[in-house]
Structure 1
Amino acid sequence: MIPVIFYEKPGCVNNTKQKKRLVDFGFNVISTNLLKTNFSKNQLLDFFGKKSIKDCINPNAPIVKNKELDIENTSEDEILSLMLSNPILIKRPLIAIGSNKFCGFDLTKILDFKLKEIK
């Protein structure tokens, strides 16, 4: 089984539940602290795929919840820079399965990788 690299915020209840689901489906989950990972701009963009940067913002990040960041009037380049310097802004989890990367938990997409491996 190809390992699932799971970039998370340690202690996040939702990330813990998501990892458990993956383990229950037989995945080899490797947890990595998202907040201590230094991504380059291009590495982070690889996880976002076709999603806009604004769709990859963590809506529960303190500066978003407290309305300190005006998402609508901030450019995607500025938001990306903020994400790189303050990774709590990144929607979690970031997942890497082999060379495939994506942002957010999509169990169907992850299970597709398992099916491809079985075939």
Structure 2
Amino acid sequence: MAKVIFYEKPGCGNNTKQKNLLLAAGHDLDARSLLTESWTPETLRPFFGKLPVNSWFNPSAPRIKSGEVIPDNLTEETALQLMIADPLLIRRPLIQVGDIFRVGFDLETIDTWIGLNPQNPVTEDLETCPRSHETNPCATVQ
């Protein structure tokens, strides 16, 4: 099984479900707060790989929902600076296994990469915030 470094927003229900799936599959989990990590462009950028800049962002973040931050209009450099200043903008979770970095929790991708428990299939969306209809879903736990 894999040693997984898992950057989350503490208190996020989906992150809790994601961690439970990894633990049930037998992985060694090192959960860390995405919000208190001392990010730099060099430490944050590897998680996004070849993904387009707009997919680096948490669409449920208050500043994105309000239209204050528009990911489609940002360069890599500006996006990283915004996310370092306001980690709620970062799509969750960030996952590191060895020297491989990923963002988000697509079940098929994670299963192919490090394996999940196929005897407990998940059918719910574990990436979209279930509270995303609220005005400020991420503000309650920081």
TM bucket, shorter chain:
0.7 to 0.9
For 1:7-86, list aligned pairs within 5 A: 7-86=7-86
Q: Distance in 2 between matches of 1:71 and 1:100?
A: 24
Q: Distance in 1 between matches of 2:95 and 2:25?
A: 16
Q: Distance in 2 between matches of 1:73 and 1:79?
A: 9
Task: Indicate the percent of aligned positions where both proteins have the same amino acid.
Answer: 43
Q: Which has the higher helix share?
A: 1
For 1:106-117, list aligned pairs within 5 A: 106-114=106-114
Question: Quick one: which amino acid aligns to residue 81 of structure 1?
Answer: Q
* Contact 1:61–1:89 (Cα < 8 Å) also in 2: yes
Question: Quick one: which amino acid aligns to residue 84 of structure 2?
Answer: L
- Give the Å deviation of 1:113: 4.3
Alignment of 1:100 with 2:100, yes or no, is: yes
Match of 2:5 in 1: 5
The alignment covers a number of residue pairs equal to 115
* Contact 1:92–1:105 (Cα < 8 Å) also in 2: yes
TM-score normalised over the length of structure 2: 0.74
Question: Quick one: which amino acid aligns to residue 82 of structure 1?
Answer: L
CA distance 1:65–1:26, shift in 2 (3 Å): same
Q: Distance in 2 between matches of 1:19 and 1:77?
A: 30
| Structure 1: gaps spanning 5 or more residues | none
Q: Distance in 2 between matches of 1:70 and 1:114?
A: 33
Q: Secondary structure at the match of 1:7?
A: strand
* Contact 2:53–2:74 (Cα < 8 Å) also in 1: no
Question: Quick one: which amino acid aligns to residue 99 of structure 2?
Answer: S
TM-score normalised over the length of structure 1: 0.87
Cα distance per residue 1:27-83 (max 9 Å; x no partner): 111110000011210221100001022111000111011112233334332222100
* Contact 1:54–1:76 (Cα < 8 Å) also in 2: no
Q: CA RMSD in A?
A: 1.6
